[in-house]
């Protein structure tokens, strides 16, 4: 199967974790897009009653398009589940996220959820995090100084992400610095703490101790991996 088919299989399979009456975090990315499309179908044609909280403007627009009722996170007592994608996950279910530049909102929503279900294709499973450049959301103010500080902490090259030739602006008005550490992130919790100690760093694309389930699509089918198995 091609990659897009694998993504669709994982995205649709994750809908099994959504029940009637739930408050659901809606992630961002090319795999969870299929989850949102399927949830929209269930809402419109099978009477599923849920409230969604989007993690990006793009996800908000897609959810509106397919008819999923939305609410602000502040107006809810919490979320039952968040379904999101990942750029990498390791054997301990630690994640790298932020390839879609939505990591700050994604982490806020994940922390407010009782359970995090991640959808992924087999390319995202790694032994050690870091082959995918680590996204770090930083403030526009003196971003060059923050970039150099990140390079000092991690000992690797850091590049500023661009879009259409200009520095990318996140939905929050910040920039994304991508750290090219390579597969060396064996202590993601310690690295996250060190980076967050830098004043110009808003959030780090390491999602530690958040993921409970990975819906993994591969050429041999869809597997459900649960933390601790």
Residue 156 phi/psi, 5-degree rounding, is -145, 170
Where are the chain's structural domains?
3-122+208-220, 134-204
**And the tokens for 75?**
């107006």
> Would the pLDDT of 228 be above 90?
no
Residue-level pLDDT at 99? 96
> Would the pLDDT of 6 be above 70?
yes
Estimate the crossing angle of helix 32-46 against helix 57-66, to 10 degrees: 30
Average pLDDT over residues 136-162: 98
E strands, 128-210, are 134-138, 157-160, 162-163, 166-167, 175-180, 201-204, 206-207
Tell me which residue of 16, 30, 105, 96 sits closest to 62, measured CA to CA.
30
Average pLDDT, the chain: 96
The domain 3-122+208-220 having CATH identifier 2.50.20.10: the answer here is no
Tell me which residue of 50, 61, 53 sits closest to 26, measured CA to CA.
53
Average pLDDT over residues 161-174: 97
Residue-level pLDDT at 52? 98
Task: For residue range 25-76, list pLDDT tens digits in order.
Answer: 999 999 999 999 999 999 999 999 999 999 999 999 999 999 999 999 999 9
> Would the pLDDT of 108 be above 80?
yes
Average pLDDT over residues 91-116: 98
Residue-level pLDDT at 14? 97
Residue-level pLDDT at 87? 97
> Would the pLDDT of 80 be above 80?
yes
Percent residues over pLDDT 70 in the chain? 99
Task: For residue range 195-213, list pLDDT tens digits in order.
Answer: 999 999 999 999 999 999 9
192 is an active site residue: no
> Would the pLDDT of 1 be above 70?
no
Average pLDDT over residues 166-186: 98
Name the active-site residue from 9, 38, 88, 106.
106
- What is the C-alpha radius of gyration for the chain, rounded to an integer number of angstroms? 17
Percent residues over pLDDT 90 in the chain? 95
Helix (H, G, I), strand (E, B) or coil at 175: strand
Residue-level pLDDT at 144? 98
Q: What architecture is the 134-204 domain classified under in CATH?
A: 2-Layer Sandwich (3.30)
Average pLDDT over residues 86-100: 97
Read off the pLDDT band of 219 (50, 70, 90): confident
Assessment of whether the complete model's pTM goes beyond 0.85: yes
Tell me which residue of 132, 135, 125 sits closest to 223, measured CA to CA.
125
Residue-level pLDDT at 133? 98
């Amino acid at each position: 199967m091609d990659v897009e088919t694998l993504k669709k299989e994982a995205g649709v399979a994750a809908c099994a974790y959504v029940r009637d009456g739930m408050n659901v975090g809606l992630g961002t990315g090319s795999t969870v897009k299929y989850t949102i499309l399927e949830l929209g179908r269930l809402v419109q044609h099978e009477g599923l009653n849920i409230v969604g909280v989007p993690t990006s403007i793009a996800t908000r627009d897609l959810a509106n398009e397919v008819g999923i009722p939305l609410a602000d996170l502040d107006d809810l007592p919490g979320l039952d589940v968040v379904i999101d994608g990942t750029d990498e996950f390791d054997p301990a279910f630690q994640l790298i996220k932020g390839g879609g530049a939505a990591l700050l909102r994604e982490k806020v929503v994940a922390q407010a959820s009782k359970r995090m279900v991640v959808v992924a294709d087999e390319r995202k499973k790694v032994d050690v995090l870091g082959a995918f450049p680590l996204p770090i959301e930083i403030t526009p103010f003196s971003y060059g100084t923050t970039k150099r500080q990140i390079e000092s902490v991690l000992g690797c090259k850091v590049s500023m992400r661009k879009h259409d030739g200009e520095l990318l602006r996140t939905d929050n008005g910040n920039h994304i610095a991508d750290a090219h550490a390579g597969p060396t992130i064996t202590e993601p919790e310690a690295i996250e703490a060190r980076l967050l100690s830098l004043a110009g760093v808003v959030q780090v694309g390491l999602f530690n101790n958040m993921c409970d389930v990975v819906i993994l699509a591969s050429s041999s089918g869809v597997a459900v991996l649960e933390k601790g198995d």
